[in-house]
Structure 1
Amino acid sequence: MSTDQPTNQPTNQPGNEARGSEPAWLLVTRREVVSRITDKSFLFGTAFMVVLIAGFIGFNAWQEERTDQVTLAATPDSVAMATAVADGAPEVDEDVEVTVVEVDDREAAEAALLDDEADAWLHPGDDGWQLTSESSEQGSLTGVVEAVVSQQVLADNAADVGTTVEALQAGSTVSTDFLRGDAEKAGVAHAVGFVFVFLFYFAALVFGMQLASSVIEEKQSRIVEIIAAAIPLRHLLAGKVLGNTALAMIQLLVYLAVGLVGLSFTSYSSYVPALSGPTAWFIAFFFAGFVALACLWAVAGSLASRTEDLQATSTPLTMLMLVMFFGGLSLDGRGQVIASFVPPVSAVVMPKRILAGGVEWWEPLLALGLLAAFAAVTVWVGERLYRRALLQTGGRVSLRQAWSAAE
């Protein structure tokens, strides 16, 4: 007589709890966290990302402080202009230092370029002045030369007609202004907003795929049937979602801490206190949004019977995440305001609005409340689909089949 246990036996009865003093969901959560946090690939990936963030910030800080030293060759007919360029370079760009090298003629200038004795050669052209380099444009030097030569030639032409440069340029200045903040602050807010969107997308995709894969692995190996005989499936789902959420939050806090500390060593250190508030809001929105998506990833895994089925069952979720990613990056104006209240897109859009400023105090609270409500509904719906699809084998399960299946 066969001793196999039926696979469709009730597993979520109220009395079917794990033995011991701890609730079953906490045991599953601990297992998820411990198994991942001791995994070398997880630790290596986290350490690599930390090094990448620190290296990127360090490289940019070094780039800001380094001086670009360039050598400008000048023939006798351009020595005066080249000297003016060298003298005026600090006023145009304080990070560019120009050294003039005098050469006898054109052949000597070209030889200096080919032998790397000079970075560029300034000489008169058919209509103005020409800057010649060997094979690549000297970006910083070009900008300095264009500004100084334009100013010098304008001064000479003004003197020829008996006026001044100031008189010729009177009323031609164009300045920029912002209703809120300034240009530099807006640039920092835009960059940090991109980081927020990327971190959410990266965490939701990586941890979501791993969560779905673990569900499929347990289902395919039929280990889940043994687990279901010991604890309710809703506890298994809760433990998996909370465990992966805890791991994602740990990684997020590490990345944000490294980023803020690194930023304090750059020229943007004065913005670190102002970024603390938006960062705290982002953590709250990240938590609510990630819980909802993690539950959906678990459902995607439960609908599949093989690893090959995951691409089909997770396609709607992947498309949703792409909408969140590109929406978070590209939306602005009224569209951004509306999206900041629409879950789950609000998880990335509202923190960007908070960074930009001008958000009323009640708006983040309302958006977070709506996102939390969406997460609660998602967890309720996902828990029903997960329980009814997890023990079904023999092929991919549709959402309709999972929803209407018997308990």
Structure 2
Amino acid sequence: MNDIWRIVAAREIAVKLRDRNFVVSTVVTLVVIIASLLLTGFLSSRPDKIEVAIAGPDTSVVLETANTLASDAGTDTSFTARSVVDRAAVEQLVREEAVDVGLVPAESSGWQLIGKTAEDDGATTYITAAAQQLALQRNAAAAGVSLEELARGSTVNYTLLEQGAIDPGLGKSISFVFAFLFYMASVMFGMSIAQSVVEEKQNRIVEILASAIPLRQLLIGKVVGNAALAFAQLAVFVGAGLIGLAVTGRGAQLGQIAGAAGWFIVFFLVGFLALASLWAVAGALATRSEDLQSTSTPLGLLIMIVLFAGIFLTGTARLIGSYIPIMSIVAMPARLADGTAAWWEPFIALALMAIATYGIVVIAERIYRRSLMQTQARLTMRQALALED
């Protein structure tokens, strides 16, 4: 009798795997993850070829030096010169967007970059550096000193206080991905549980089930079955993302990201046991499918709060959120991803999550048993708790 929940769980898994919408949505999401990573990798690896209209003496030398500096910096930026007769011709090509930028001598001294509506960062960085280097060489020769002597004391070294920390932009993206996956899995599998419960209740199938198996076993089977599917789906999505990062050449910090992703799956699995129980309660409190909008509203708000917290919380707020059960599903792995959490912190947060999950499951199971057989009208949690077993 104690193993009946396994049969229920197996049935939940089998029904879900035969659901065409579930299979199609899983495949589509997987394709989107892989395609987005490949597209991002392709765009980032494309060479940045900047065509420059030039006029005046020594402009070609500036572009040659800019190409050398860009190459020495390990970038894919390159400059192609298009010589014209004067500044007016340069401006005309820029207006017609026949070139990306123009370069002419300034009226007083130095050089003038010409753009149409916005500055080109690549041109600004490397052409400016090239012009400064050539000017230093000329000035050093005029002063009778070497370029090395003229530049003495100008070296700047960069020291990172947190070696191996992920770029803030990448860390923010990972936090968004964790929050999105949490929201998608919580709603998809949670609503599936609630609809399954209310359909069995509405069709009075639950009365047959209740005469054959304990309601506690029925609840455990539904929760475990959907939790197993959610775990497997998340593992596939996360695995595809990690493989994509490695294939597209962004695997320098893959170990840290993979560790955070692993913790995310573990946190989600523990937290989803609580969420799944609450979704089952939402279905048990309803008497028909139309009631789910009302009975599941508080749970939907909780999931939305966690979603927005994962995306927008920063600093001390995210530190606190990483220890709050359910919210820690997203906040703690995000902190691990960007290197702001110590190794021991997820263990404490996970223990707090496990304690909260146990308490939620115990209360949810009591409400579920007391409200599942009530078919007269929609119940509130308070009304369900007031009923006798």
- Give the alignment's TM-score, normalised by structure 1: 0.81
Aligned residue for 2:351?
Answer: 369
- Of 101, 115, 118, which residue of structure 1 is paired with 2:82? 101
- Structure 1 unpaired stretches of 5+: 1-16
**Amino acid aligned to 2:309:** G
Aligned residue for 2:37?
Answer: 57
Contact map agreement 1:89 1:98 (CA 8 A) in 2: no
- Structure 2 unpaired stretches of 5+: none
Contact map agreement 2:63 2:130 (CA 8 A) in 1: no
Cα 1:382–1:119, aligned 2, differ >3 Å: closer, same or farther?
A: same
Cα 1:199–1:152, aligned 2, differ >3 Å: closer, same or farther?
A: farther
Contact map agreement 1:303 1:399 (CA 8 A) in 2: yes
Which 10-residue stretch deviates more, 183-192 or 29-38? 183-192
Partners in 2 of 1:396 and 1:145 — Cα distance? 71
Aligned residue for 1:88?
Answer: 69
Q: What is the deviation of 1:382?
A: 0.6
1:256 aligns with 2:238: yes
- Of 292, 304, 308, which residue of structure 2 is paired with 1:326? 308
Contact map agreement 1:177 1:183 (CA 8 A) in 2: no
1:400 aligns with 2:382: yes
Partners in 1 of 2:75 and 2:252 — Cα distance? 21
Cα 1:99–1:166, aligned 2, differ >3 Å: closer, same or farther?
A: farther
In structure 2, the residue corresponding to 1:72 is in which secondary structure? strand
Partners in 2 of 1:74 and 1:104 — Cα distance? 8
**Amino acid aligned to 1:73:** A
Cα 1:296–1:154, aligned 2, differ >3 Å: closer, same or farther?
A: farther
Partners in 2 of 1:64 and 1:86 — Cα distance? 19
Q: What is the deviation of 1:250?
A: 0.9
- Cα RMSD of the aligned pairs, angstroms, is 3.2
Partners in 2 of 1:214 and 1:245 — Cα distance? 15
Q: What is the deviation of 1:375?
A: 1.1
Cα 1:145–1:213, aligned 2, differ >3 Å: closer, same or farther?
A: farther
Contact map agreement 1:196 1:348 (CA 8 A) in 2: yes
Q: What is the deviation of 1:32?
A: 1.2
| 1:323-362 alignment runs, 5 A limit | 323-357=305-339, 359=341, 362=344
Q: Deviations over 1:172-203 (max 9, x none)?
A: 8474522x324556665554344333322221
Aligned residue for 1:44?
Answer: 24
Contact map agreement 2:166 2:253 (CA 8 A) in 1: no
Q: Deviations over 1:302-329 (max 9, x none)?
A: 2223433323322222222233223334
Q: What is the deviation of 1:114?
A: 6.1
Q: What is the deviation of 1:387?
A: 1.8
1:210 aligns with 2:192: yes
Q: Deviations over 1:33-53 (max 9, x none)?
A: 111112222111111111111
Contact map agreement 1:86 1:100 (CA 8 A) in 2: no
Contact map agreement 1:72 1:119 (CA 8 A) in 2: yes
Q: How many residues align?
A: 386
**Amino acid aligned to 1:89:** A
- Give the alignment's TM-score, normalised by structure 2: 0.85
Partners in 2 of 1:297 and 1:253 — Cα distance? 22
In structure 2, the residue corresponding to 1:342 is in which secondary structure? coil
In structure 1, the residue corresponding to 2:79 is in which secondary structure? strand
Cα 1:39–1:110, aligned 2, differ >3 Å: closer, same or farther?
A: same
Aligned residue for 1:12?
Answer: none
Partners in 1 of 2:38 and 2:292 — Cα distance? 40
Q: What is the deviation of 1:294?
A: 1.1
Q: What is the deviation of 1:249?
A: 0.7
**Amino acid aligned to 1:262:** G
Q: What is the deviation of 1:395?
A: 3.7
Indicate the percent of aligned positions where both proteins have the same amino acid.
39
In structure 2, the residue corresponding to 1:352 is in which secondary structure? helix
Cα 1:190–1:136, aligned 2, differ >3 Å: closer, same or farther?
A: closer
